[in-house]
Structure formats: C-alpha cells, structure tokens
Chain A
C-alpha cells in the first residue's frame, strides 16, 4: 500500500514519468495542457527553435492566448501577437485565441473546458495556479521551461510539500473568495508557501462558488506557493458539466496524508479585506483604510473579471454614479463573459454610472495598457499584485480588494466598507 497522499501528491503521481513523488524529491511530470501568452510565448518560441525542436509534443494540448498586450497597443506588441499567431499556424495548433475570440488565459482555459478534476496545466505565467479552483494543478514557469515542455511534453519538478487550509463557516455579505486569499497571504506572508502547494478544503469550501475559488487559487503564488488545489465537490463537478466536460471523479486527499503546515479559517469571522501597497500580504479589514482617496478603480484580471464580479459591480452601481474625480475601468475576463454581461444588462448599468468598459485584456493589471497610473496616483483594483509601479509610475499606489469594495470606492471616491454605500440590504448585510 502506498503511504497516504495529499491531493497535490496524488495528481503529480498520476502524471509522473519518473522519479519519486514525495516532498523535496525530483520527478519528471507530464502536463495535460501547456499554456502560453503573447508576452511569454515569443521568448519561448525563439528558445524552442534554438533547441532544434521541429514539432510540439501534442498540437491538441497547446493553448496560445493573446491577452497581455491584446488588442495590440503599439507596433511592438502587434509584433508579439504576430509571432504568437505564426507559431500556432506553423505547428498546427488548434487552440489559439486573440481579441474578440478569447479573453484572459486562465479564465479562458477553464471556460473552454480544457481543465478539470485531476488535470495538470503547465503555463508560462505565474497565475497558472488559478487552475487549482477546478481540483487541478496549474504550475507557472518561465518561457525557456515552457519551450522545453512544448518540445518534450515533460518538465522536471521538485515535489512541493502540501499546506492544508481548512475552511469552515459561511462568509458574511460582501465577503468573497478574494478576502479568503488576502487573509491567507496575510497570515503566511509572501514567501510563507515557498516550495509548497496550498490545499483548500473543509466544510467552508462548499460555501465558495467556482468563480470565488478562482479568486482564491489565482493568488496562491502571492504566498510563494508552487500551486494550489481545492477539494473537488458537487459544485466543481457541475461546473465541469457546464463547461462541456465529461464527468470525472475529483481527486481527494487520503486520510492521514502528511502536511507541512495547517491553517484554519472560519469564513464567518472574515471582513472584506484590502491589501495595502506594495505587497499582497499587507491585507487589513476595509474599515482600517476607510477614507483613503482613490483616483482610479479597476475591476478585472485573470480571476476577478468573472460574471460574479460584474454582477457585484452592477449591483453597487445601479442607480448610482462613479464619483466625478474617479475614473473606473471594468474589464470582463473573456469574450463569453462580456457577452453574458451585455445580455444581463450589466454592462449598460456599469457604463451608465460613468465607468469605461473594456474588451477582455490583461491590460493595466500588469502595467501594460488600458488604465496606467501617473505619478502619485492611487488605484483600488480587483487584481492580484500591488507591487511598486505594478500599474504604472513607480510612485503610484495600488490597493487590492474584492469587486464589492472596489465598486463602493468608485461611488464614494474613497475606500469605504461596501455596506456604507449599499446600506443594510435585505440580505442582512452587517453595517
């Protein structure tokens, strides 16, 4: 009998070509999907050619997404998109998505039905860990590693230890997955999960929708984690079915599996959180930052441009206005989400309030385009990083928060608890 294993160890073991799957050991792992974008892709394609590779390991399992500088913002980024498109054509790749057809890679990958229970994604992007929401492992790499994965269908990996995060309780109104992960990062620190996988489970996990689990998994890397994984359940199974995937049993941890650390989090005790710059580990309850004036509000990114987020934003903005001194940019994560938001009237509500609605793009989240900050400006964003200069000038500031808090700040012109803007709602929001 093999010794009891965590979810991470089980998924890795099912994909190991050689080596021992135990924490700290080196193993060779094959991915189910390899994912690159218009920033990481062009560097990888050049390395792929330098390696002397003449074909990709499996043209059906490679996904290229133009999302960072898409639609192209200038001639240089147009060249990046051209190199990405050309690689897809040259190697006969089925999955290549650009403006008007795709969206932000991690949200899109799930939407396409390319990641489900027990899968492994290798992505040339640090937020590949978002796949953890689907009871899968997403592992981020740089371009040269992914060039090797494209050529050989495998990469070496140091097997991470697993950190169990036990969730209990049900979140109060205006508390979301974003607040769960900001609290976890606050507790463990921005390198507290180095060489580890964050495993989320427990009775509280079922209180989180799959969209919210994406918000959690997306930021696992901000605690230094190699990857992240949620226990699978009826919600993740239903989500796979909705994305057109055949049902598959979730991978669950064995009783007695070994963890390098354990955390317990009662969702009922959480408040909406805001992470102060320059670290996602700087989370505090929103009340502590009440009155902080903002110049820009940005809603979007690879985990918080979902329909769930857009519905929250629209609920706050319905019948209200974005404060005159504030500009608000809202970026649905994929084309499908954008269209659904249009059909539900969310985009009109948001636009009517005075916000700019963008086509899907990574945009200003990484300081690329579509809402860059000037020196001295302050933004509140539903994104995942608030490093120095992340969204623009080195002397600009980014506060991270959920969509309720971001939209409330847009109306108030400053950081406030959402209940202050929305009042005590019928759902019994705490004031």
Chain B
C-alpha cells in the first residue's frame, strides 16, 4: 500500500476531544464526523484536508477519551495515515482496528515539512518527502496481523468462523 498526500503538522498531546468534540458523539458515520474533524483545534481543517493527506504529530497523539469517533472523524476527513512521535494506547488500538495506519517514527514525525507532499510506502517501509527518506519500523505481532486482515472486524470474523460463535470458550 502506498499513500500520497500533503502533510499537516500538529503538536504534542493532541487529545481526542479536540479531534472530535463531545457534542458530536451522537454521530456515527465517518463522513458526518469528518466534517467536524479537529474542529476544536482548527475549525478550517476539515475543509482544507484532501483524501490521502498525512498527519505528522508530536507526542501522545490521541490521548484522553477512548472515543473511536476520533478515528472515524480522521478517516471521514480523508486522512490516509498518521506519523507520530508517540501515540496514546487506546487511540493506537482504535486506529489499527479500523485500518488507519499509525506509524510511530519520531524522526519522520519531527522532520516532515507541513504543506509539502509525502509518500508512505508500507511495502518498502519508507516515508519520502523531497530528497529525504525515513525508514519506518515494521508493524509487528497483532498489529501487523490486524492490518493485514484489513482491520479487527475481518480478523474476528475469521476467528469466529474457525472457533464458532456459539461455543462456550472459557
């Protein structure tokens, strides 16, 4: 998979409340949530962002509320990937589960220039912008398996097919 888009830069500790404020949590559709994406931080963001664009973010991205609506809002707005210095645990899992690639690569997260094109090649494991290239750590273990399956829903569907939904498993 290759993602190409413009880079949008955000700082440290971007919490899920500013990604999608609480008052929108009665929405469930990605497109509807996407219209309010990052509204708490930058009201014009959802209008400027284009499909495939990439967020380059600082430390502890997605901290706070477990709301999966934050990932749906980013996806609904068109974000193709997030490159981060570090990511809060629940947001990280939510993103992987919904097949939004989150790359933890502090050097790239700090080095990517805003409003410039970037290309992320997940097969080759590279992030390229202009004449700079960063090598990203490969996805491993469960994260690799979930992304390979296309998200947690297809992975659990396969698991249930193999184990049966009706058997007592404890």
Contacts and interface: CB of A to CB of B under 8 A. Distances in A.
B169 interface: yes
A22 to B, nearest CB: 15
Contact of A388 (B40, B160, B169): B40
Chain B interface residue count: which class? Answer: 35 or more
B12 to A, nearest CB: 8
Contact of B26 (A58, A80, A388, A390): A80
B44 to A, nearest CB: 13
A193 B156 CA distance: 30
A194 B15 CA distance: 14
B17 A226 contact: no
A387 B17 CA distance: 7
The A contact surface, by secondary structure, is loop
B156 A69 contact: no
A126 B94 CA distance: 12
Interface stretch (B2-10, B61-69, B122-130): B61-69
B40 A143 contact: no
Interface string B1-29: 00000000000010101100111011110
B18 A387 contact: yes
A152 B90 CA distance: 19
B50 interface: no
A224 B69 CA distance: 19
B27 A142 contact: no
Contacts of A352: none
Contacts of B141: 26
Contacts of A279: 13
Q: Most A CB atoms within 10 A — which of B66, B93, B152? A: B66
B21 A151 contact: no
B97 interface: yes
B165 to A, nearest CB: 5
Q: Most B CB atoms within 10 A — which of A43, A80, A191? A: A191
A142 B102 CA distance: 16
A194 B89 contact: yes
A366 interface: yes
A118 B72 CA distance: 34
Contacts of A153: 169-170
A355 B15 CA distance: 31
Contact of B25 (A39, A191, A195, A390): A39
Interface in B124-169: 141-142, 151-153, 156-157, 159-161, 163, 165-166, 169
A40 interface: yes
Interface string A211-225: 000000000011010
B59 interface: yes
Contacts of A367: 17, 21-23
24 contacts: A30-B170, A42-B28, A51-B160, A54-B166, A74-B26, A76-B27, A80-B26, A124-B66, A126-B64, A141-B93, A144-B97, A144-B151, A144-B152, A151-B156, A151-B160, A151-B165, A191-B59, A191-B60, A224-B60, A385-B17, A385-B64, A387-B40, A389-B18, A394-B18
Interface of A: 26, 30, 39-40, 42-43, 46-47, 50-55, 57-58, 68-69, 74, 76-77, 79-80, 124-126, 140-145, 147-148, 151-154, 156, 190-191, 194-195, 221-222, 224, 226, 279, 366-368, 372, 385, 387-390, 394
Pick the 8 closest A-B CB pairs, nearest first.
A367-B22, A142-B94, A76-B26, A191-B60, A142-B68, A366-B22, A144-B97, A126-B66
